[in-house]
Amino acid sequence: MASYAVEEIDFLKKLHKCGKSKRPHLASECQEKQVFTVCECSDNYLHGKIPATSRQKQRLKKHVNILKNLADPSINWKKKRTYIATQEGGAVISTLLGIALPALLSYLTSR
């Protein structure tokens, strides 16, 4: 875990806890640094830096293209913000943050 996620952990908690009806509004209002925070979590998941259960992997398997687009550095952050805001049912972000937040919190407590 690196800098963006550590600095914006409160935003990640808020994004994870808000319901699927409030998440698009919160995601559409987020700033560049907050978008990169979610993108960093996606990148860490794709590179295997975050441990995930088989059920979590199964839930994210069908959304791998969105995760790859979030992790791709050549895509503009505003386009990534639309990926975060317009996802169907909130499965990608809620599952991804369900994996990333415990790993991030354990990283912070070990420091």
By percentage, how much of the chain surpasses pLDDT 90?
43
Q: How far apart are CA 15 and CA 98, in angstroms?
A: 11
Give the structural domain span for 106: 3-110
C-alpha neighbours within 13 Å on the C-beta side of residue 86? 7
Contact 44, 23 (CB under 8 A): no
Query: Which tens digits make up the pLDDT trace of 59-81?
Result: 999 889 999 999 999 999 999 99
Mean pLDDT of 83-101: 82
The angle, 0 to 180 degrees and rounded to 10, between the axes of the packed helices 77-85 and 32-46 is 80
Count of domains observed in the chain: 1
73 or 110: which carries more pLDDT confidence? Answer: 73
Query: Which tens digits make up the pLDDT trace of 31-46?
Result: 999 999 999 999 999 9
Q: How far apart are CA 88 and CA 107, in angstroms?
A: 30
Q: What is the largest CA-CA distance in the chain?
A: 36
| Statement: the pTM of the whole predicted model exceeds 0.75 | yes
